[in-house]
Amino acid sequence: MPTTTAEDPTTSLFRALMHPTRVAILDLLRDGEQCVCHIEAQLGKRQAYISQQLMVLREAGLVADQRSGANVYYRVTNRHVFAVLDAARALVGSKAFTATTATCNCPQCQPEWAELVLHS
């Protein structure tokens, strides 16, 4: 049974942001859309777990997904969410999750893709 009572939208937003993995996912999407496997590789968590957190973000309206072949790409629906994250970090004085060099099998992680971007 989901949350049935109409909730204060501000509270709902904070509820969605109240989880380190979800915040890390949003940070990963600062650079643009990413496929699930990429998020998985970056965060070093199991696929099902990442998918669960993506579902929460999706239901909160913070991210949207788009299928492209076998991969699903997620993006932030409103970049203003980063203003919230930045304001929060300015208050508590912590840093955003920074991407590692981890790669996955998605097209974006293949060398050919980098070539494509460079030459476009």
- Interface with DNA (CB under 7 A): 1, 3-5, 15, 18-19, 21, 35-37, 40, 45-49, 51-52, 54-56, 65, 67, 69-72, 105-106
CB of 87 to a copy of itself, least distance (A): 4
Indicate the SS3 state at residue 2.
coil
Nearest to 25 by CA among 66, 53, 2: 53
Provide, rounded to whole angstroms, the least separation between the CB of residue 29 and DNA: 13
CA-to-CA separations, 117 to 1, 13, 78, 109, in angstroms, rounded = 45, 34, 24, 12
Q: How far is the CB of 38 from a copy of itself (least distance, A)?
A: 21
9 binding partner (options a copy of itself, DNA, none; Cβ < 5 to 8 Å by kind):
a copy of itself
- Name the residue among 114, 105, 9 with its Cα closest to residue 62: 9
Binding partner of residue 114 among DNA, a copy of itself, none, CB cut-off 5 to 8 Å per kind: none
Is the Cβ of residue 20 or residue 100 nearer to DNA in the bound state? 20
What single DSSP character describes residue 63? E
Cβ atoms 62, 81 nearer than 8 A:
yes
